[in-house]
Structure 1
Amino acid sequence: MTKLAIITGAAGGIGQALLAEFAEAGHRLVAVDLPGSHVADLVSRFGDHHLSREVDLGDEAQIAAFWSWLDSQSDRVDILANNAALGPTMAPTLNTPLSDFRSTFQVNLYGPFAMAREAAKRMKPGGAIVNTASQAGVLGNPRRNAYAASKAALISMTKSLAAEWASKGIRVTAVAPGYIRTPMVAELERTGKADLSLVRQRVPLGRIGRPDEIAAMIGFLASPQARYITGSVVAVDGGWQAFNQPGHAHPPVAGTPAEELARPAARQGSRVVLITGAGRGIGAATARRFAQGGDILVLADREGAEARAAELGPQHLGMTVDLTDEAAVTGLFDTIRARFGRLDVLVNNAAVADHFRPAFDQTGADLSRTMEVNVTGAFLCARESLRLMPEGEGVIVNLGSINTFLPFAPRHAYGASKAAIDVLTRCLAAELGPEGRRVVTVAPGYIRTPGTGDLEAQGRIDTAAIRRRIPMGDMGRPEDIAEAVWFSASQKASYFSGAILYVDGGWTSFGNAGDASPGDFDL
């Protein structure tokens, strides 16, 4: 069924890329931008069945008039991409009029809120709202007071709306772009307020992002493939936030990199993908997703990997491997080298739960068991994968957890291991970005896996209480994680590195007292 997608700020760089992204997905577009933006001409390129409207989103009366008009054109709204914004004035604090400060919030926060409120009134379950935030809303920058504060406010509002509307089946997420080659950034460069050559040296990937790279992430978050993602704020910044030391993240770049100006040609042929912990649960679902995409798989696990590979086809390889045994792991990679000659993607999924013992009853051996599999094994696979990845290529996807963000007692070892994975991702992304390699974390919430079933059967988790704690009211499916991993490893995620994508039904966005949902409905 054709969906109706509203894109605000549609005449800007990211806005035009969003028009193309949603048009390619087969949606009917409603392009919105300021009076005089000629947004009708822009959207007409995609067909005469699309709609447009010139609206100043800093004016509530114009917003109300827009919705009255749209109601006369359509009886449904499926997607809202809240992308319009005023850029930073770059004025010193002492020279910033209060009127400028207020107008920034009017457009960057009040306008998106009003648009989200009215869109949600018209959405059915399955509706999606994606806000364009900014890395400026996460990291401090001089002379960006109003812009940065408004984007931080938008990030917080994304999470609170996600928690409120999850029970209605409406998802709310945000993307936090780094430097993107848009007219806004071009103007900063033209006026001498930004030196893009220095910016490139601050980005581990060594370049500024393209509008289509932000549009691709927004398109994914708005899609059914992201059905268990709500409240998540995804940094798409080329690894900017992952770099934390003096000096440059990337050597000086001569001129403007070609990949900054245009999307590279699509990769041809199958990738070779290693998935650890692939015998069941999330690993098995991830293997199926990559196989559907035409990739060649190497599946590794303590048990079940060989049978899983055989189910998927004779071109795939399954191996029984103990990831805590260095000799066994290097043997795995020797086999990959001999059979395939390279490795394109590593999915570090293998993990074990802890013993749920109180700290007084836990020993160093308990901690070591969890850390060896969940962290040391992941590091070992990452290290060895680099020897097989073609020069200038390669993606590593590490599986994290909501425990990274909110550790659970008494699951001290598991939480520590997943926190370590998150920062390991950042360290690797900062180091490997200059080599053209990406490293990301996908962090599941509670997922209905055989492992979760085992914990429930042993009385170690209360699934009814867990469902009430999840804004979306239910656990996710292994396929939800598989879709996120698949997208993260794809060319469409080419500027997503050093960051974390939570797939948790809104768990990490809920900070209130009491239950997040009734917990009595299924997704």
Structure 2
Amino acid sequence: MSSQGVALVTGAAQGIGRAIALRLAEDGFDVAVNDIASNSENLDTLVDEIQKKGRTSSKCIADVSQEEAVKDMVEQVVKDHGGLDVMVANAGIVGKNLSFVKVSGEEWDRVMNVNSKGTFLCYKYAGIQMIKQGRAGGRILGASSLAGKQGIGTQAAYCASKFAVRGLTQAAALEFGPHGITVNAYAPGAIDTPMIASEPGMRDAIINEFTQRSPLKHIGVAGDIASLVSFLAKKESQFITGQTISINGGVFFD
């Protein structure tokens, strides 16, 4: 079975990233998957699942907030798979639920380093590789959020990091567009993944709130995001670039 190309998905060990990796494999891509060392075993399981779908796969242990690690990761994917056609900069962390005035500089840096700097580095080194290899139709995708379109008072650092992804996406789209590379981001609302329960006691409250706010009266699942990414990775999405697409069950309308 011929390959649609090579994709790299960061933050792929669980949740949205895992669903994206599996969907891209189903779409015919060979898929390299990334996460940090503590999630290595989950990546091994994911690589096995992708290979059972008839696609080649490899794992890349790297902290996306570290420039040399991202550079080396992209180089390793190219060495293992022969190129890079789709970069999904999905890795991210949630900020602590704190009053604006209680957010420390350390907390600010922790969230911004992964969510915004990490996305910047993935865009940068994917763009360098895609331009160098000269294939038509490269796709670069990043993870923004509902919180990247509307502020949340107890998530100042997280909101700032996800608003930053929108700006990075637009800037990269302008620079990479002449090379046939599109750059877009997805902005999920409440999605039923392990991340939604990152703070004890918050899961039920978040599900109830966003169920009530959605006209569809339910929250999303990881497969909903994977379906959007699937389309944006395809050649049929060639006239969409610089966009951050809301996928939030109608919690608000852009």
Fold similarity call, TM over 0.5: yes
Q: Does 1:62 align with 2:69?
A: yes
The more displaced of 205-214 and 88-97 is 88-97
Q: Does 1:165 align with 2:172?
A: no
Equivalent pairs, count: 243
Name the counterpart of 1:42. Answer: 46
Q: Deviations over 1:445-466 (max 9, x none)?
A: xxxxxxxxxxxxxxxxxxxxxx
Question: In structure 2, do the counterparts of structure 1 residues 85 and 166 end up closer, same or farther at CA, with 3 Å as the change threshold?
Answer: same
- SS at the partner of 1:5? strand
Question: In structure 2, do the counterparts of structure 1 residues 118 and 10 end up closer, same or farther at CA, with 3 Å as the change threshold?
Answer: same
Question: In structure 2, do the counterparts of structure 1 residues 195 and 229 end up closer, same or farther at CA, with 3 Å as the change threshold?
Answer: closer
Name the counterpart of 1:106. Answer: 113
Task: State the alpha-carbon separation in 2 of the partners of residues 84 and 67 from structure 1.
Answer: 15
Name the counterpart of 2:225. Answer: 214
Task: State the alpha-carbon separation in 1 of the partners of residues 138 and 200 from structure 2.
Answer: 37
Name the counterpart of 1:120. Answer: 127
Q: Which has the higher helix share?
A: 2
How many Å apart are 1:193 and its aligned residue?
A: 8.7
Amino acid at match of 2:94: G
Name the counterpart of 2:14. Answer: 12
Matches within 5 A, 1:266-305: none
RMSD: 1.7
Task: State the alpha-carbon separation in 2 of the partners of residues 195 and 120 from structure 1.
Answer: 36
How many Å apart are 1:195 and its aligned residue?
A: 3.6
Name the counterpart of 1:88. Answer: 95
Structure 1: 5+ residue runs without aligned partners?
243-498, 500-523
How many Å apart are 1:192 and its aligned residue?
A: 6.4
**Partners of 1:133 and 1:151 within 8 A in 2:** yes
2:156 to 120, 145, 148: 145
Q: Deviations over 1:26-53 (max 9, x none)?
A: 1100000111202122221121721111
**Partners of 1:13 and 1:182 within 8 A in 2:** yes
**Partners of 1:58 and 1:103 within 8 A in 2:** no
**Partners of 2:115 and 2:162 within 8 A in 1:** yes
Task: State the alpha-carbon separation in 1 of the partners of residues 49 and 164 from structure 2.
Answer: 35
How many Å apart are 1:191 and its aligned residue?
A: 4.6
Task: State the alpha-carbon separation in 2 of the partners of residues 188 and 204 from structure 1.
Answer: 26
**Partners of 2:190 and 2:248 within 8 A in 1:** yes
Task: State the alpha-carbon separation in 1 of the partners of residues 215 and 34 from structure 2.
Answer: 34
Higher RCO, Cα 8 Å, sep 6+: 2
Matches within 5 A, 1:26-425: 26-37=28-39, 38=41, 39-47=43-51, 49-123=56-130, 124-188=135-199, 190-191=201-202, 194-242=205-253
Q: Deviations over 1:458-496 (max 9, x none)?
A: xxxxxxxxxxxxxxxxxxxxxxxxxxxxxxxxxxxxxxx
- SS at the partner of 1:175? strand
Q: Deviations over 1:395-427 (max 9, x none)?
A: xxxxxxxxxxxxxxxxxxxxxxxxxxxxxxxxx
TM-score (norm 1): 0.45
Structure 2: 5+ residue runs without aligned partners?
none
Rg larger in 1 or in 2? 1
